[in-house]
Structure 1
Amino acid sequence: MKTITSRDNAFYKELKALATSSQARRKAGQSLLDGVHLCQAWLDLRGAPVHCVVSEGVLANPEVDAVVRRCENLRAPVTVFPDALFAAISQVEHGINLAFIVATPRPAQPGALMQSAVLLDGVQDPGNVGSILRSAAAAGIKQVFCSAGTAFCWSPKVLRAAMGAHFVLEIFENVDLPQLVRDARVPVLATSGYAAERLYCLDLKRDVAWVLGHEGQGVSAEVLELATHRVAVPHAGKVESLNVAACAAVCFFEQLRQNQS
Structure 2
Amino acid sequence: MTETPISSRDNSLFKRLKKLSESARARRGAQMTLLDGEHLLAAYLDAGGQPHTLVSASSFDVGRFRALAGRCPHAKTIVLTDALFAELTPVATPTGVLSEAAWLMPPPINATPLVLVLEDIQDPGNLGSMLRTGAAAGATLAVLSKGCHDPWSPKALRGGQGAQFVLPLECGVDIPAWCALFEGQSLALALGEDRSVFARDLTGPLAIIVGNEGGGLSHKVRAAATATVQIPMPGKMESLNASVALAIAMFETVRQRSG
TM-score of the pair, normalised by structure 2: 0.91
Aligned length: 255
Aligned partners of 2:156 and 2:59: how far apart in 1? 27
Contact 2:115–2:141 (8 Å) recurs in 1? yes
Residue identity over aligned pairs, in percent, reads 37
Listed as ranges, the matches of 1:193-232 within 5 Å are: 193-232=191-230
Q: 2:26 aligns with which of 24, 27, 38?
A: 24
Greater displacement, 153-162 / 21-30? 21-30
Greater mean deviation of Cα atoms: 17-26 or 250-259: 17-26
Match of 1:70 in 2: 71
Aligned to 2:184: 186
Aligned residue number for residue 83 of structure 2 = 84
Range with bigger deviation, 52-61 or 148-157: 52-61
Match of 2:95 in 1: 96
Residues 105, 206 of structure 1: CA spacing in aligned structure 2 closer, same or farther, 3 A cutoff? same
Equivalent pair of 1:148/1:175 in contact (CA under 8 Å): yes
Are the equivalent residues in 2 in contact too, given 1:142–1:168 (CA < 8 A)? no
1:34 corresponds to 2:33: no
Q: Equivalents in 2 of 1:118, 1:220: separation in Å?
A: 16
Please name the residue that 2:117 is paired with.
119
Other structure's SS at 2:40 match: helix
The range that moved more, 182-191 or 220-229, is: 220-229
Which residue matches 1:50? 52
Shift of 1:196: 2.1
Change (3 A) 1:28 1:189: same
Alignment partners' CA distance in 1, 2:153 and 2:92: 16
In 2, Cα distance between equivalents of 1:9 and 1:100: 17
Shift of 1:227: 1.0
Other-structure match for 1:156: 154
Which letter maps to 1:176?
Answer: D
Is contact 1:71-1:78 (8 Å) kept? no
Tell me the distance in 1 between the aligned counterparts of 2:63 and 2:251: 37
Runs of 4+ in 1 over 4 A off after TM superposition: 106-109
What 5-or-longer segments of structure 1 have no aligned partner? none
CA distance in 1, matches of 2:213, 2:199: 25
- What secondary structure, in the 3-state scheme, does the structure 2 residue paired with 1:137 have? helix
Secondary structure of the residue that 1:230 maps to in structure 2?
A: strand
1:111-130: CA deviation from partner (whole Å, max 9, x where unpaired): xxx72111101122112111
Hey, what does 2:128 align to over in structure 1? 130
Taking the aligned partners of 1:229 and 1:100, their CA distance within structure 2 comes to: 43
Contact 2:121 2:147 in 1 (8 A): yes
Task: Report the AA paired with residue 86 of structure 1.
Answer: F
